[in-house]
Amino acid sequence: MPAPSLIGIGFEHRVVVGLAELAVSNNPSAVLTTYSLGSCLGVAIYDPVVKVGGLLHAMLPDSSIDRAKAAAHPGMFLDTGLPALLREAFGMRADKRRLRICVAGGAQIMDDGNVFNIGGRNRAAFAEFLRRENLRADAEQVGGSVNRTMYFSIQTGRVTLKVSGLQNELILC
C-alpha cells in the first residue's frame, strides 16, 4: 500500500542528495537538499509546468580519470552527472525548453598559480555542457572561498542557499 500523501497539509520532507549523488522528484512536498559543496558544484534543474526538479552534487569535472567510478557513481563527475540528471528529469516529463537551471558551489582556495583550481574546472565543465546542450544558467552563486548548502523546493522551484558560518539564507532563484 502506498504511503499516505502529505501534500496539501504543509509538510515538507527533506531529501538529502549526498556527495556524488543526484536526485529527481515530482513530489511537491520534497525539498532536495545538498550540504556543504566546497569546490563541488550543485546543479538544480526545474520544469515549472510539470513541477519536476532535480539536484546534482558533483565533485569533479571529468570522468576520464576513472570510468569504473563514473559508472558506479555518475554523479561524481559533471560530464556524467549532468546528462544523467537531465535524463532522469526527462523521464518524468520535464521539457528541455522549459528548464530553469541554477548552480552553486565551485569554491576555491587562494591560488595565484591556478594549480589547485578544482572549483574553477568544475565551473568550466558546467559551462561547456550548457554550451553544447544549448542551455543557459538562470542563476549562479559560485566561486569564492565559502561552503554552500542548497535547498530546493519542488513545490515552488525556489532554491535557497546557506553559506557556512553565516546566519541568513539567500534566495538563489
Partner 1 sequence: MLTLDSFIKSIDYLPPMPRNTTALINLLDRPDIDVDQVVELISYDPALTAQVLRLCNSAFFGGAPASDIHEATVRVGFNEILQLVVALGTATLMRPQQKGYGIEAGDLWKHCVTSALVGKLVAVDCQADASLAFTACMLHDIGKVALSRSLEAKYDEVVAETKRCQSPMLVVEQKLLGFDHAEVGGRLLQLWNFPVQLVQAVQFHHNPAASPQHRELAAYAYYGNMIACFMGFGCGLEALAFQGRSDALEIIGTTPEQIPGYMAKAFYAIRDTEALLCFPF
Q: Which residues are catalytic?
A: 40
Q: Which stretch binds partner 1 (CB under 8 A): 22-30, 94-102, 103-111, 133-141?
A: 103-111
Host H or E run for residue 29? none
Tell me the closest approach of the beta carbon of residue 97 to partner 1, in angstroms.
32
In sequence order, what are the beta bridge partners of 103? Answer: 43, 140
Which residue of 37, 56, 102, 104 would you call a contact of partner 1, by CB under 8 A? 37
CA-nearest of 46, 47, 64 to 55 is: 46
CB atoms within 10 A of CB 147: 17
Tell me the closest approach of the beta carbon of residue 106 to partner 1, in angstroms.
11
**What is the spatial distance between Cα 28 and Cα 40, in angstroms, rounded to a whole number?**
26
**What is the spatial distance between Cα 168 and Cα 154, in angstroms, rounded to a whole number?**
21
Tell me the closest approach of the beta carbon of residue 142 to partner 1, in angstroms.
13
Which residue of 4, 11, 113, 132 would you call a contact of partner 1, by CB under 8 A? 113
Which residue of 119, 123, 151, 173 would you call a contact of partner 1, by CB under 8 A? 119
Query: At 101, is the secondary structure helix, strand, or coil?
Result: strand
Binding mask 44-83 for partner 1 (x = CB under 8 A): ---------------xxxx--xx--x---x--x-------
Q: Which grid cell sits at 159?
A: 532554491
Beta strands 13-16 and 30-34: pairing type? parallel
Residues that bind partner 1 (CB under 8 A): 18-20, 35-40, 59-62, 65-66, 69, 73, 76, 107-113, 115-116, 118-119, 144-147, 164-166
